[in-house]
C-alpha cells in the first residue's frame, strides 16, 4: 500500500477536497425539504391527492433514507468515496427524472425515498466523512466551511425551483433541478476527489 502524496510545503490538498465537499452539500438542494415545499401545491393539484398524502409519503421516504444511511456508511468504509459520489449524482438525477413523471402517491413515496437518500442523506454523510478524514487540527473549521454549502443551497434552490415552475411547469422544473445539481457536482468529483490511501 502506498500513501498518496498530495501534500507540498505551500499547499494542502485537503482544501480542494473541502471545496468539492462544500459543493456536494450545495448540490443536495433537490433532496431537501426547502425545495420539496415549493412543489407541494403542484403535487396536490396535479396528482389529485391531499396534503396529508404528500406529508405521509415524505415521512416514509425520509424514514427509508435514515435506515439506508446505515448501509451506506458500511459501504463507504470499504469503498472509494469518489465512485460512490458519482453514483449518487446519477441516482439524484434519476430521482428528479422520476419526479417529473410521477402520477400517484405511491410513486411519490418512492421518489421521496430516492431523493432523501441521495440528496439529504448521501450528500451529507459522504462529504462529512471526507472532510473528517482529511482534516484533524482544523476539522471544526473545515466542517463549518462545508456547512456554508447547505446554507447557500437553502437560499438558491427554492428561488430557482419557483422560477422554473413559473416558466416551465413543475414537471420540467424537476428535470432542470436534477440536471443542475448533478452537473454542478459530478465533474469536480471525477477530477478532484482522491482517496487518502490507495492500493498500487
pLDDT in tens, 114-166: 999 998 889 999 999 999 989 988 999 999 999 999 999 999 999 999 999 99
Phi, psi angle pair for 198, to nearest 5°? -150, 155
Backbone φ and ψ for 136, nearest 5 degrees, come out as -120, -70
The pLDDT tens digits of the residues spanning 52-99 come to 999 999 999 999 999 999 999 899 888 889 999 999 999 999 999 999
Separation between Cα atoms, residue 126 and residue 27, nearest integer Å:
13
Alpha helices in 79-122 (DSSP H): 81-101, 105-115
Give residue for cell 471525477: 190
Nearest-angstrom CA–CA distance, 104 and 86: 29
State residue 21's pLDDT score. Answer: 95
Asked if residue 180 lies in contact with residue 160, where contact means CB atoms within 8 angstroms, the answer is yes
Provide the Cα torsion 52, 57, 61, 66; round to 10°: 30
CB distance 42 to 154 below 8 Å: no
Please name the residue that has the C-alpha cell 410513486.
Answer: 107
> Domains in the chain and their CATH numbers?
30-195 (1.20.1250.20)
Residue pointed to by grid coordinates 446519477: 90
pLDDT value of residue 196: 61
**Whole-prediction pTM:** 0.87
For the cut 50, the answer to whether the pLDDT of residue 199 exceeds it is: no
Task: Report whether 131 contacts 146 (CB < 8 A).
Answer: yes
Torsion angle of the four alpha carbons 128, 93, 91, 73, in this order, in degrees rounded to the nearest 10: 10
In this predicted model, which residue has the larger pLDDT, 155 or 7?
155
Cβ within 8 Å of residue 33, ≥6 positions away: 120
Amino acid at each position: 500500500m502506498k500513501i498518496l502524496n498530495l501534500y507540498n510545503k505551500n499547499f494542502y490538498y485537503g482544501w480542494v477536497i473541502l471545496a468539492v465537499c462544500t459543493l456536494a452539500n450545495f448540490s443536495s438542494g433537490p433532496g431537501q425539504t426547502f425545495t420539496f415545499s415549493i412543489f407541494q401545491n403542484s403535487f396536490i393539484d396535479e396528482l389529485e391527492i391531499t396534503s396529508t398524502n404528500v406529508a405521509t409519503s415524505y415521512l416514509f421516504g425520509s424514514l427509508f433514507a435514515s435506515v439506508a444511511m446505515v448501509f451506506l456508511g458500511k459501504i463507504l468504509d470499504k469503498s472509494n468515496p469518489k465512485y460512490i459520489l458519482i453514483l449518487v449524482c446519477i441516482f439524484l438525477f434519476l430521482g428528479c427524472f422520476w419526479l417529473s413523471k410521477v402520477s400517484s402517491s405511491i410513486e411519490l413515496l418512492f421518489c421521496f425515498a430516492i431523493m432523501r437518500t441521495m440528496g439529504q442523506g448521501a450528500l451529507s454523510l459522504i462529504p462529512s466523512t471526507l472532510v473528517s478524514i482529511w482534516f484533524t487540527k482544523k476539522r471544526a473549521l473545515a466542517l463549518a466551511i462545508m456547512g456554508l454549502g447547505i446554507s447557500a443551497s437553502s437560499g438558491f434552490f427554492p428561488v430557482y425551483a419557483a422560477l422554473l415552475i413559473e416558466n416551465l411547469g413543475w414537471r420540467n422544473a424537476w428535470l432542470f433541478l436534477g440536471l443542475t445539481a448533478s452537473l454542478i457536482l459530478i465533474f469536480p468529483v471525477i477530477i478532484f476527489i482522491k482517496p487518502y490511501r490507495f492500493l498500487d
